[in-house]
Amino acid sequence: MPELPEVQTVVNDLQIITGDTIIGFWSDFKKAIKATTFEKKILGEKIKHIKRLGKNIIVELEHRKVIVAHLKMTGKLILNPNNTLAAKRLEDRSKHLHHIFCLKKHGSLEFHDIRKFATLDLVTPEKIIEITRSKGLDPFDKNFTLQNFTDIISSKQDKNIKSVLMNQALISGIGNIYASEIPYEAQINPLRKIADLSKDEVECLYKSTLKILTKAIKLRGTSISDYRDAKGEKGGFQHHLKVYGKAGKKCAKCDTIIMKNIIEQRSTFHCPTCQL
């Protein structure tokens, strides 16, 4: 599932269509669209601003309309310089292409989705404020300071690091991949409880969170299975994973076999020697 670095990469790629106008829309899977009369409301609207909100992609239009796209498991937003809505191309389309935004200057913005869990919605700016409030602190928000990070994780003393990092109501955007990679970077066992962490370890975890997410954005995300950027290309962080998906393999630092544990139904990976 795309996490913060993958969604940020897509958002960065989509900046090119800011200022463009939506002149057409097509969908063969309207169940994914939460808003009613979506097409009618977005036609002729100019794209003012595109940003990330947690794992949501927010496309601000004129007239107080905001498109909210969530990639969920396998959604992909891909820019195609051609007008995909042209009859011939639509006929030959991939069977996973479910929505197309036709743009005045930049061809088409295609929404592909294999598993069909991805969603589209059209909301007001007030709703965006409400969504923002319901989410945990974003690691790239100016308020994501060491003090605030400490306060946030301290509210869950009896929980383990992995589940706290993944708790979207506390910290927004971290999923299973980075919640394994961050504790490895910090050399802390992800199964430990927050209450057991020293002040130095909390600081190390904080710095590792920013370091790993920043590096992952720089490398354009992790493509283990379906994730692709808005150019349809793979990210590069999968070549830098140290523990995620590496159970039974040797740790690159110490040769110890990487362990896998299941926490809250999700696989968690760590090196029992490097991560104490």
| Shortest Cβ 185–Zn ion spacing (Å) | 12
**122 near Zn ion, rule: CB under 5 A:** no
Burial track 171-188 (b if 16+ CB lie within 10 A, e otherwise): bbbbbbbbbbbbbbbbbb
Candidates 47-55, 56-64, 220-228, 266-274 — which segment interacts with Zn ion by CB under 5 A? 266-274
Catalytic status, residue 249: no
Instruction: Give Cα 63 to chain centroid, integer Å.
Output: 27
**276 near Zn ion, rule: CB under 5 A:** no
**271 near Zn ion, rule: CB under 5 A:** yes
**171 near Zn ion, rule: CB under 5 A:** no
Catalytic status, residue 266: yes
In the complex with Zn ion, the residue whose CB is nearer, 27 or 256, is 256
**Site for Zn ion, residues 202 to 231, rule: CB under 5 A:** none
Q: Which of 48, 65, 260, 266 is catalytic?
A: 266
In the complex with Zn ion, the residue whose CB is nearer, 83 or 256, is 256
Catalytic status, residue 31: no
In this structure, are residues 55 and 11 in contact, taking their beta carbons and an 8 Å threshold?
no
- Find the binder of Zn ion among 77, 153, 251, 263 (CB under 5 A): 251
- Tell me the CA distances in angstroms from 30 to 118, 128, 215, 248, one per residue in order: 11, 22, 36, 43
In the complex with Zn ion, the residue whose CB is nearer, 81 or 248, is 248
Candidates 33-41, 52-60, 92-100, 243-251 — which segment interacts with Zn ion by CB under 5 A? 243-251
Q: How many Å apart are CA 39 and CA 31, to the nearest integer?
A: 13
In this structure, are residues 128 and 121 in contact, taking their beta carbons and an 8 Å threshold?
no
| Shortest Cβ 251–Zn ion spacing (Å) | 3
Q: Which residue has the tokens 């760590």?
A: 270
In this structure, are residues 187 and 166 in contact, taking their beta carbons and an 8 Å threshold?
no
Q: Which of 5, 6, 55, 139 is catalytic?
A: 55
- Find the binder of Zn ion among 43, 129, 169, 254 (CB under 5 A): 254
Give the total of residues touching Zn ion (CB under 5 A): 7
Q: What is the largest CA-CA distance in the chain?
A: 62
In this structure, are residues 61 and 136 in contact, taking their beta carbons and an 8 Å threshold?
no
Burial of 138 (0-12, 13-18, 19+ CB in 10 A): middle
- Find the binder of Zn ion among 43, 253, 257, 276 (CB under 5 A): 253
In the complex with Zn ion, the residue whose CB is nearer, 101 or 184, is 184
**274 near Zn ion, rule: CB under 5 A:** yes
Beta bridge partners, 261, equal: 268
Which amino acid, 242?
K
Catalytic status, residue 2: yes
**Which residues are known to be catalytic?**
2-3, 55, 266
**Site of interaction with Zn ion (CB under 5 A):** 251, 253-254, 256, 271, 273-274
